[in-house]
Structure 1
Amino acid sequence: MESFFARVGKVWPAGRRDLHWHLLPSPEEAEKLLSAYPADRFSRPGLVRVPSEWLHCTLVHAVGMTAEHVDVDALIAGTQELARQTRPFRLTFDRPAVGPVAVEISGWPGEPFTSLVDGLTALLDEHHGGEFKLAASRYPHMSIAYTAAGAEAVDAGDLRQSLAHLDGPLSHTLHATRLHLVEQWHDGSTITWRTLASLPLDGNRRTTDVPGLHAGDVAQTIINVMGWQTATSSTWVSPEMERIEHRGDQRWIGVSSSLMHTGVSLSAGRIHDGQYASPEARSSGRLDGSDQAALALAVRRLWERLDGLEQTNEKSL
């Protein structure tokens, strides 16, 4: 393989603090994203695993643009307006791919991400067009390991084989709720940054925009009211479908919503060896997805039904 830092060093030398726009996972999300990839898989000369605190999903790298070159306050103000127009979204990251200079995990869906990239690129072109090269990400991805000095000794085929033998589900979610402007640099083996602004994404939150509910918002409400913030993860299926995974209890909850009304339905089942069993319990009738108490009660009843099924199965053995 080829050294990532030697390649980028030709246009982004070590120590230079270029401006970048990122989506950043929360500390809990970063730990979950990396937990499926044991450190020993990357323990080889010429390969550097990315620490969880420096895991990032780049939107745009303004090559050569530093805080000394621009009015940072004006740049933040322009970026803030874009953030206000952008609705929070989720990215689900899955199996790793070994490229020439890094091991990366790709995310989906692409559309919310690419729209944000296009907005940032247009903003920078308008105010600084032609002054700096904009390296815009074409798809959502995060590098979990970079090649460095000695990269020529890394056997890409052997690395792919090692990663292919990872057991268990690898899908994890990044909740994109903030747009981060950072000044970022590297030392030839590690990328670090200093945050200049962290701007909330809050567009399209007016109730008149969407008369119904996004399933992801309902799933997050359930996680919050049940106190499951550290015990669960959620996976985007579509704007009207989301799956909550409670690994501790080895169960899942499916959320089905509508963008046309606030009615939702819930289903639940077990997780066996990383596989999701067919729904074994369903909510009774349509629920009001904006009613936190109703959601909490429905979840508890689904859990009780699953408990009852487990007790029945145990008696039949």
Structure 2
Amino acid sequence: MATIYITTQGATVQRRSGQFLVCKDASILENVPETHVRQLILFGNVNLTTPAVAFCLDQQIEVVFLTQGGRFRGRLNGDGGKSAAVRRRQYERARDESFCLAQAQAIVAGKIKNLIAFARRQQEAASAGRELNLLKRSLESAQRATSVETLLGIEGSASAAYFGLLRACVPPPWKFEKRTAHPPLDEVNAMLSLSYTLLYNRMTSHLNMIGLDPYQGFFHQVRHGHAALASDLIEEFRPLIADALVLKLLRRKQIKPEDVVKEKGEFRLRPEGSKVFFAEFERKLNSRRTAEEHGDLNLTYAQIFVRQAHHFARVLAGDEPRYVPFTVK
């Protein structure tokens, strides 16, 4: 099952004779059998016909709407999970401060472990002893934290140290001084934000399908329009998938500076750059890793994503004691 990315401005997605067709004017730009499609991601001014909307709703094919630059606008999805009992248990757990703290500690510790593991693999990390030591101390502090609020500060400090190290890993002529997100202030930040948005949307979709409320988190604070639980559960994957992908594309010159343009205050990839970016993102998701802490071997990242969402659901139900993030060494 595939995620289809449509970036051509003015294109229309139709459904005809068992196919999704991406058309513009009188031309068919792409056609994909409807049975192969799990999700549609539309960037900017892309239209969706009523028959295509109806089919997506009936078949639980999620449609995600982003700006041209990859900023999230909204989503179209059907009923998804229909168990009120699952969500009632989730909301009850969210009122339990000790439960929230235990899950938040696991989430933050898992993220920092993966930040350290990813940083150690970079040649540039040899001269970044200060940042690595800060990350190690942040991990120790997270494991001793006594409140979610404290963990938020620890996670922020760890991220700042990590992005300081990442700055040295970005090859010239690209510029990356610090992490900026709302909005991204340079091309590298824009690509990081886009990759994080793709992870966030994929996790939100999984949570909807298994009946959880993506907006009720346990580490990230609840705020209007933010799928806090999706943000919670992608933390451990940010360095392993998103950051690794962006560095690979820059180092191998698969994305070049001329592939990124800035229009109306927003960075976006040109069509050829988009094609490379999304193909490599899907390739990364389909690459295989071990998940020894769960007794699983040789799973793709996409499978681990689903596994982690179901694992958290079992924790909420009381079938497993505590969330165990996916980590690498």
TM-score, L = length of structure 2 = 0.25
Work out which of the two has the higher radius of gyration on C-alpha atoms and give 1 or 2: 1
Decide which structure has greater helix share. Answer: 2
Comparing both chains, which one has the higher relative contact order based on Cα–Cα distances under 8 Å and sequence gaps of 6 or more? 1
| Structure-1-length-normalised TM-score | 0.26
